[in-house]
């Protein structure tokens, strides 16, 4: 129960952060990508702050040796840039550049009860389900991407 409450609070902090930063506003995100036109560099500060916090978090996690809310760290085991990774990154980037939403910001923007995030999340869900169905139809499993590492 306590773990669920903590996860909920972590989600609230994340959602509040991307809302305050303006990342749930597709126009602001698209202006950030438009370096030849109406470029808005303010999201550079958002990304810089996120990198600083993430780097600090990884440093503290490594120094601590074990996670606070789990038995082991879940680290990627695949260290190869392959076709699936490149295509996935391209689809993510194209979608973000066209729509102005990434999955996290779109889910947070659902709270605005506006059409754009509802359409984005709906089509994203259809795409995820379609990909799962295709993978099942061709009997292909994604490579193991996590391993549990004990200190």
Domain ranges for the chain, please list them.
2-149
Query: What pLDDT, on a 0 to 100 scale, did the predictor assign at position 43?
Result: 85
Q: What percent of the chain shows pLDDT beyond 90?
A: 9
Query: What pLDDT, on a 0 to 100 scale, did the predictor assign at position 144?
Result: 58
Q: Distances from the Cα of 75 to the Cαs of 11, 19, 63, 67, in angstroms?
A: 21, 28, 16, 12
- 41-61 average pLDDT score: 88
- 35-47 average pLDDT score: 86
- Tens digit of each residue's pLDDT (9 = 90 or more) over 74-116: 877 888 898 888 988 998 888 888 888 888 888 888 888 888 8
- Tens digit of each residue's pLDDT (9 = 90 or more) over 100-111: 888 888 888 888
CA distance 124 to 63: 37
Which tokens is 99 given? 């729509």
Answer yes or no: are the C-beta atoms of 20 and 43 closer than 8 Å. no
Is the sign of the CA dihedral 7, 18, 65, 150 positive or negative? positive
| ∠ CA 93-101-116, rounded to 5° | 135
Does residue 40 surpass a pLDDT of 80?
yes
């Amino acid at each position: 129960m306590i773990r669920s409450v903590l996860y909920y609070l972590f989600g609230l902090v994340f959602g509040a952060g991307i809302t305050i930063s303006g990342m749930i506003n597709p126009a602001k995100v698209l202006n950030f990508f438009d370096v030849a036109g109406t470029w808005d560099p303010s999201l550079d500060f958002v990304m810089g702050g996120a990198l600083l916090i993430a780097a600090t978090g990884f440093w503290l996690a490594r120094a601590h040796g074990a996670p606070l809310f789990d038995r082991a760290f879940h680290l990627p085991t695949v260290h190869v840039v392959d076709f699936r990774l490149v295509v996935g990154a391209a689809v993510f980037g194209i979608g973000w550049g066209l729509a102005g939403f990434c999955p996290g910001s779109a889910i947070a923007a659902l709270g605005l009860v506006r059409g754009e995030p509802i359409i984005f999340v709906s089509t994203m869900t259809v795409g995820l389900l379609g990909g799962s169905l295709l993978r099942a139809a061709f009997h292909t499993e994604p490579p193991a991407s996590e391993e549990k590492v004990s200190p």
